[in-house]
Amino acid sequence: MAPEKDPDELKKGFCWKLCQSRLCLVLVFLGMAAGIAVSVPMVLLSKSLRERFAPDMKWWQKTIVYQIYPRSFQDSDDDGVGDLRGITSRLDHFQYLNVKTIWLSPFYPSPMRDFGYDVSNYVDVDPKFGNLSDFDDMLKTAHGKDLRVVIDFVAGHTSSDHPWFQLSQNRTSPYEDYYIWANGTTLPNRTIVEPSNWMSVFGNSSWQWSDERRQYYYHAFLAKQPTLNYRNPTVVEEMKNVIRFWMDRGVDGIRVDAIPYIMVSEDYYQDQARNYTATAVWTKPAYYITNLTKNVPDIGDIVKGWREVLDSYEDSDDDDDKSRFMIVELYDTPEVRNRYFEYGADMPFNFDLVTALDNHYQVHGNFCAAICIRDAINNVYDNLPKGKWANFVLSNHDNRRAASRMGELYVDAVNMVLLTLRGTPTTYYGEEIGMEDIFVSYQDTQDPFGKKYGPARYQEKSRDPERSPMQWDDNKNAGFTNSSHPWLAVHPNYTHVNVEWEKNSTNTTTLKVYRDLAILREEPSLQYGLLKFTDVNPDILSYLRSAEEHPHFLVVINFGQVPVTHDFPGALVNRGQGRVKVVTSQAANEGRFAKDSSVPLTQIKLQPGDGLVLELAESGK
């Protein structure tokens, strides 16, 4: 069960606000005059008064974070690749959606071997995406529309084209130790092999021989993505300066890429032990126990250092709205994730919904339904450290889209879950209209991770399918570009899955449902209220969101594959009827439920994929 905000914290927040105001001074003065100085705060904090105020929440706790993959969002110069001016031209979309934060995947100069996650200059914009003044324009326009901008910080590795690497490779001072260099191990037969058996996340050895330097260098991902050496204080400072560069321009936060891999053990020659529980093949990191190459404890100090830099930008007046946000990317258990809270990240990404939905699909040929979704969510809340804030993700540029994993029928339902949980939701571009993965032939495959696996297996790994162009309208190439060669194909369903159509249709659409949810999310109960699962069975997922003194909301969704008639338990039924605030598109279009109508909490008939958010009267007392 979700921990309700600690009442003491609420009290503190309220008291603090009051005591900054003039009203406070006047009241305290009057109180003292009457000789009841001690009782004044008690009077002010009477229960009903106190609970009308929201707890102090930072901006990143109240917003939806929307991920833009710049290559695929909007092309402004007809070269078939999305760019910053394209993004600027589409910012109204977020006002329509009621989304208040965008996160941009990398747009820095890059040879694009990993599509921007291989940076050759951290403090500029790749000409494909525009230039620094396009960035400034985008940021200013976004801020003018009350939109925060978070950027990707590819902290662990550069491109091998980065001048730092070139200079390190030829041992130019002071760059010699900017990367992780090691001699090979000489075998008895005098052949020289890799220092150790460490594996790249993308498969095969993570050591690459440099003919020029006559040493091996370490790379956690592609060989053309050498890992930086954070044991070198100059590197630590260089990377802090990168953060400063963007914060000085006014950026609101960073998403730190692949945090567990930014450092490795100091002992490059120690082999990793075999992991006998893993089923992975020997070319993959999971074949070994990865304690030497993943989440090494020294990462803590690095994150702490970034936190200090970010905090130095927070205004001294302690206005929460000025805080700079840091979210770090890792796929791991709550136990490992939680370390990053301690190090100073505002949130470690929580991919448990992605993983739950994926595993069940692959393992059982069936998706993760109600009980499995509830368990995944409970696991997040149960393991959240006190005072920390949860977050949820459904998909991103590295994972299949929700519609392709769950089926079109459940798209509104999963968006409904994402946007009604307690915690910050991240939405990958296109999920608000229910975009699906595209098919890409091996010949047309762009993603190096896919290509590496060859024609027989590339589809398992390639991330191209979920990176196709955003579908804006039913013009050529879905309004993404005027070029006849978008960098990836547009999904053929763009004629009816597109923003324009979904906005203007007289039907209820995935886009409208998303928007309804995004607006309703501002209700105190949905923003910070308690989350309590009601009666969950294999088909029905249902939970109540409640903040005292505010309307409560009951979410009910049929995640099963057959129609269900659902009765809520007596206690809920006693609270009267529910008013429909959001209804999934199929249920609305087929006339089962209408927005703003009242429904009794017994005998609710839900088809597979149907979901409702019902408003209940106040606290039901």
**Contact mark string toward ligand GLC, 412..441, x via CB under 6 A:** ------------------------------
Distance CA 499, CA 472 (A): 5
Is 590 labeled as catalytic in the residue annotation? no
Q: Pick between residue 314 and residue 398 the one whose CB is nearest to ligand GLC.
A: 398
Length of the chain: 621
DSSP structural state of residue 501:
H
Count of chain residues binding ligand GLC (CB under 6 A): 9
- Mode of pairing for the β-strands spanning 101-104 and 65-68: parallel
Segment (H or E) for 249: helix 233-249
Residues from 101 through 140 that contact ligand GLC (CB under 6 A): 114, 117
**Contact mark string toward ligand GLC, 536..565, x via CB under 6 A:** ------------------------------
Distance CA 68, CA 107 (A): 11
Matching residue, tokens 């010699």: 176
Q: Pick between residue 457 and residue 485 the one whose CB is nearest to Mg ion.
A: 485
**Contact mark string toward ligand GLC, 143..182, x via CB under 6 A:** -----------x----------------------------
Q: Which of 87, 258, 490, 540 binds ligand GLC (CB under 6 A)?
A: 258
Q: Pick between residue 258 and residue 419 the one whose CB is nearest to ligand GLC.
A: 258
Q: Which residue is nearest to ligand GLC (CB)?
A: 117
- 473 near ligand GLC, rule: CB under 6 A: no
The minimum distance between CB 32 and ligand GLC, in angstroms, equals 58
The minimum distance between CB 448 and ligand GLC, in angstroms, equals 9
- Return the closest-CA partner of residue 67 out of 45, 87, 89: 87
Q: Pick between residue 114 and residue 610 the one whose CB is nearest to ligand GLC.
A: 114
The minimum distance between CB 155 and ligand GLC, in angstroms, equals 10
Written as six digits, the tokens of 167 are 């200079």
- The burial class, CB within 10 Å (0-12 / 13-18 / 19+), for 42 is exposed
Sheet arrangement for strand 181-182: 181-182, 215-218, 207-210
Written as six digits, the tokens of 588 are 């609305």
Q: Which of 83, 126, 194, 257 binds ligand GLC (CB under 6 A)?
A: 257
**Contact mark string toward ligand GLC, 212..231, x via CB under 6 A:** ---------x----------
Residues 6+ apart with CB under 8 A from 456: none
Quickly list DSSP for 118-184. S-S-TTS--TTT--HHHHHHHHHHHHHTT-EEEEEE--SB--TTSHHHHHHHTT-TT-TTSB-EEPP
3-class secondary structure, 426: strand
Distance CA 612, CA 598 (A): 12
> Out of Mg ion, ligand GLC, none, which partner does residue 81 contact, by CB within 5 to 8 A per kind?
Mg ion
The minimum distance between CB 351 and ligand GLC, in angstroms, equals 11
Catalytic annotation, pick one of 75, 118, 126, 329: 329
> Out of ligand GLC, Mg ion, none, which partner does residue 610 contact, by CB within 5 to 8 A per kind?
none
Q: Which of 397, 491, 512, 545 binds ligand GLC (CB under 6 A)?
A: 397
Distance CA 539, CA 611 (A): 12
> Out of ligand GLC, Mg ion, none, which partner does residue 114 contact, by CB within 5 to 8 A per kind?
ligand GLC
Q: Pick between residue 114 and residue 412 the one whose CB is nearest to ligand GLC.
A: 114
- The burial class, CB within 10 Å (0-12 / 13-18 / 19+), for 466 is buried
The minimum distance between CB 170 and ligand GLC, in angstroms, equals 25
Written as six digits, the tokens of 62 are 């109240």
Q: Pick between residue 75 and residue 523 the one whose CB is nearest to Mg ion.
A: 75
Catalytic annotation, pick one of 75, 83, 252, 257: 257
The minimum distance between CB 222 and ligand GLC, in angstroms, equals 8
- The burial class, CB within 10 Å (0-12 / 13-18 / 19+), for 359 is middle
Written as six digits, the tokens of 507 are 């039907």
CA dihedral for 493, 499, 500, 502, sign (positive or negative): positive
Written as six digits, the tokens of 540 are 């029905």
The minimum distance between CB 483 and Mg ion, in angstroms, equals 8
Is 329 labeled as catalytic in the residue annotation? yes
Q: Where in the sequence numbering do the catalytic residues fall?
A: 257, 329
By CB under 6 A, name the binding residues for ligand GLC.
114, 117, 154, 221, 257-258, 329, 397-398
